[in-house]
Structure 1
Amino acid sequence: MAKVLITGMSGTGKSSALELLAERGHRTVDTDTEAWSHWVSDEDGEPDWVWREQAITELLTGHGEGDLFVAGCKSNQADFYPLFDHIVLLSAPAEVLLARIAARTTNPYGKTPEERAAILEHLAFVEPLLRESATLEINTTAPLAEVVRQLAFLT
């Protein structure tokens, strides 16, 4: 009964991995919805899309059967690390991320030059922080089935 956080930059394959894990019968939660996340102002007054603390706490403490895979990359996620059994960083080179984002049709984020610049900035400054706290890193240039096999192996 493992609780696994799947994190990483935009375009690493978090949503695709969740989809395949769900098809294989695992419980999955994509936190990039208003049910799980909301906008706040950070200490600089800038907008920040963070996890809803009560909703995530209830999800993680109330989970009691089977494995749970939660995907997201939020500035407050480290507050919840003690409630997870594994923190998995999905990663890929910048050119792979940008190509995936340009081609995807399920998420409009990353289509503008400003958003693409933000993705590269996050890759340079946020991903190393995620790497420090991850219990496992998976390079998602591997086929999706292999990525999901490695995730499922954790449970």
Structure 2
Amino acid sequence: MGRKNYLIDGVSCAGKTTVCTELQRRGYHAIHGDRELAYSGDLQTGKPVDASSAEPGAWIWDVAKVRALVADHMHQISFFCGGSRNSARFVELFDAVFVLEVDLATLNQRLAARPADEWGGTAEAGAAFARFQHATKDGFAPNAIQIDATAPLASVVDTILAQINHD
């Protein structure tokens, strides 16, 4: 959707949705990936999986839709905000990737405050995966720009915008 496209990633509760909403408030084209692109699917095939099945799928993005949005140059800049277990299949489409970083204490505090019905599965499973991903950095682009997401929201967004203005 943009001539320049940026991915904003991070563990659950790092602030991806909040940053996306703030970017939109500031007039930027920003896509809530978890709301507009994501679904429970098979990580290998991309086929949807019923979240209530015995073998629930992974939280993935529709790769064809991501490619189509990136190819549409209607906007000068587009931000794609959210987490996806299949991001390796489309990460090369982005001009830069930002990973919102939080320390473990902040992550635990945010996880405890998050409503249980916001998870794709159980709150416990979501929290366990967020802590695993926090510890291992599993699934994040190795060349991602780290952003301290414990800072105030305005500062986090200003830092991202400062980085893209250096492109």
Whether TM-score is above 0.5 comes out as yes
1:114 correspondence with 2:125: yes
> How far is 1:72 from its partner?
1.7
Which residue does 1:13 correspond to in 2?
Answer: 15
Equivalent position SS for 1:3: strand
Out of 79, 84, 88, the position equivalent to 1:74 is: 84
Relative distance call for 1:116 and 1:66 in structure 2 (3 A) is: same
Q: Does the Cα contact within 8 Å between 1:51 and 1:74 map onto a contact in 2?
A: yes
Q: CA deviation at 1:36?
A: 1.2
Q: Which runs of 5+ in 2 are unaligned?
A: 45-54
Show structure 1 runs of 5+ residues with no match: none
Distance 1:12 1:115 in 2: 13
Query: Distance in 1 between the 2:40 and 2:124 partners?
Result: 22
CA distance in 2, matches of 1:121, 1:24: 33
Residues 11 and 97 in structure 1, CA contact (< 8 A), matched pair in contact too = yes
C-alpha spacing 1:38/1:108, structure 2 compared with 1 (3 Å): closer
Q: Structure 1 residue 100 and structure 2 residue 110: aligned?
A: yes
Instruction: Provide TM-score, normalisation by structure 1.
Output: 0.84
Report what 2:73 is aligned to.
63
Conserved? CA contact 1:87–1:133, under 8 Å: yes
Task: State the shift of 1:63 in Å.
Answer: 2.8
Deviation at 1:73, TM superposition (A): 1.6
Looking at structure 1, the residues matched to 20 and 117 of structure 2 have their Cα atoms a distance apart, in angstroms, of 15
The Cα shift of 1:111 comes to 7.3
| Number of matched pairs | 151
Distance 1:31 1:18 in 2: 9
Q: Whole-Å Cα distance in 1 between the matches of residues 116 and 25 of structure 2?
A: 18
1:25/1:113 CA distance change after superposition, 3 Å: same
Query: What's the Cα RMSD here?
Result: 2.3
Which deviations, in whole Å up to 9, do the C-alpha atoms of 1:94-116 show, x marking residues without a partner?
A: 22012113224596239733332
Code of the residue aligned with 1:95 in structure 2: it is A
- 2:156 maps to 147
How many Å separate the matches in 1 of 2:125 and 2:28? 36
Query: Match of 1:130?
Result: 140
1:131 Cα deviation (Å)?
5.6
Distance 2:29 2:41 in 1: 28
